[in-house]
Amino acid sequence: MAAISFEEIMFTIMSATQDVFKSYMNIDLLAGKVEKKVEPVDSDVTGIVGIAGDRVGYIIIATDKSSAQCVAKELLMVDEADEECIRDAMGELANNIAGVFKTKYHEQYGSVALGLPLVVSGQLRAISEPPDSNETSSINVQCKGVTIPFKTVDGSISITVMVYM
């Protein structure tokens, strides 16, 4: 069994994110510059899916409330997106992106299991970074991984996908 490189994981996540947006919402996303670390991100809504198997880690999708509302309206096909719709949509988005990753990884490299999606809000910051004195809530994440920003051409949706394994 061939070992999977982190670059392969990164490109799989990039294509999975773009494919999910195109397939489920008919939205084209452009990928921005990939950072080879999990960056602190201010997000109103964050979807997290744990991955277990030969490689263990997380796929994290963070966005602002406006982008989350756009995603919820498109993904759930509703006119207005309340808090519950946004939570459902972000959990479903994280789950679908992780599912595409799981399918590809399983076919090529063996067993992969996904956790249930967790949807939270607040600032993501590295464990080594001191908390801001004004900070009300934060999630500490490991620093090893990649951060991939995505946005639509018109800028109506902007999300950040982070993965570490």
Mean pLDDT of 45-51: 92
Structural domain contains residue 55: yes
Predicted confidence at residue 138, as pLDDT, reads 47
Domain of residue 145, CATH code: 3.40.1550.10
What span, in angstroms and rounded, lies between the C-alpha atoms of 101 and 130? 33
Identify whether the C-beta of residue 165 lies closer than 8 Å to the C-beta of residue 15. no
* pLDDT tens sequence across 93-133: 999 999 988 888 776 666 788 999 999 887 665 555 555 55
Assign residue 145 a region: left if phi > 0, alpha if psi is -120 to 50, beta otherwise? left
CA atoms in the 13 A half-sphere facing the CB of 130: 3
Predicted confidence at residue 127, as pLDDT, reads 53
Q: Count the domains in the chain.
A: 1
Which residues, in sequence order, are CB contacts of 83 under 8 Å at separation 6+? Answer: none
Query: Would you call 133 helix, strand, or coil by DSSP?
Result: coil
Structural domain contains residue 1: no
Structural domain contains residue 148: yes
- Considering the entire predicted model, what is its pTM? 0.82
Structural domain contains residue 106: yes
What is the CA angle 158-135-139, rounded to 5?
60
Structural domain contains residue 46: yes
Supply the range of the domain harboring residue 61.
Answer: 6-164
Structural domain contains residue 88: yes
Mean pLDDT of 1-24: 84
Structural domain contains residue 78: yes
Structural domain contains residue 105: yes
* pLDDT tens sequence across 70-102: 999 999 999 999 999 999 999 999 999 999 888
